[in-house]
Amino acid sequence: MDLDQLKDIWKGLDEPVAGRQGKQEILNMLKKRSQGPIAKMKRNLLFELISVIILYSALITHYLTAFDHELQSVAWFLLVIGVLFLVYYFLKNKLLNEMQQVSGKVRFHLERQVITLEKYVRIYMIAGVIMVPVCLAFFGWIFYNQVEDFSKSSILFPSDTNSLWKVILAWLILTLALIIPVYFAYVWILNKMYGKHIDKLKQIIKEMSEE
């Protein structure tokens, strides 16, 4: 079946014509073509989940038991981040599962789901970038209150020899120095894991809607 025939079948999808075989043919074709990108995104998401569980479990256990239990607040901080990721995982995985169920008005539902998926990826990237100043603020508070020798000698904290404007400037420079590479790293990783597969799905939708 060539593309022109496929488009002719697509135009008749919403027509209430009994016994039309084209609808089932187009559903099967679209489902087959869309399963590859969706399946790859599900595998990438599962890889993320396993990586987060292993890494965060090790870090949380370490901070709960090490340093004479003085840095347990770090463990709770990491636990909150981990829980937020689990919420993100279940929402995104639920959406990907729904995208694999091709039925009804295929193009309409797939378009809406792709838009939602793009929002999830965008939120994930923004959240990752926002976590940079959040983590800096949190660990800065930890060092200031629990590592006195460091806070007294560091340019990141005010002292008799370190004025407030220098402290603010130092934090701004440090934040920017971390945010910029983190942002580009997120853009590259998310495009590799999700973006290029979303583009493939959008191309499928575009082909089905061309006249």
pLDDT, tens only, 6-41: 455 445 444 444 444 455 565 566 566 667 788 889
Q: Which residues contact 178 (CB under 8 A, 6 or more apart)?
A: 132, 136
Centroid of chain to Cα 126: 9
Q: How confident is the model at residue 74 (pLDDT cuts 50, 70, 90)?
A: very high
What pTM value is reported for the model? 0.76
Does 165 have pLDDT greater than 50? yes
Does 86 have pLDDT greater than 90? yes
Helix H, strand E, coil C: the string for 146-190 is HCHHHHHHCCCCCECCECHHHHHHHHHHHHHHHHHHHHHHHHHHH
pLDDT, tens only, 114-153: 899 999 999 999 999 999 999 999 998 888 887 767 667 7
Structure tokens given for 140: 């800065």
C-alpha to C-alpha distances, 158 to 83, 140, 167, nearest whole angstrom: 34, 12, 6
Structure tokens given for 116: 């939602």
pLDDT of amino acid 179: 95
Q: Where are the beta strands (DSSP E) in the chain?
A: none
Cα–Cα distance measured from residue 180 to residue 133, given in angstroms and rounded to the nearest whole number: 12
pLDDT of amino acid 126: 94
pLDDT of amino acid 33: 66
Give the mean pLDDT of the chain.
82
The domain locations on the chain are 20-209
pLDDT of amino acid 151: 65
pLDDT of amino acid 6: 46
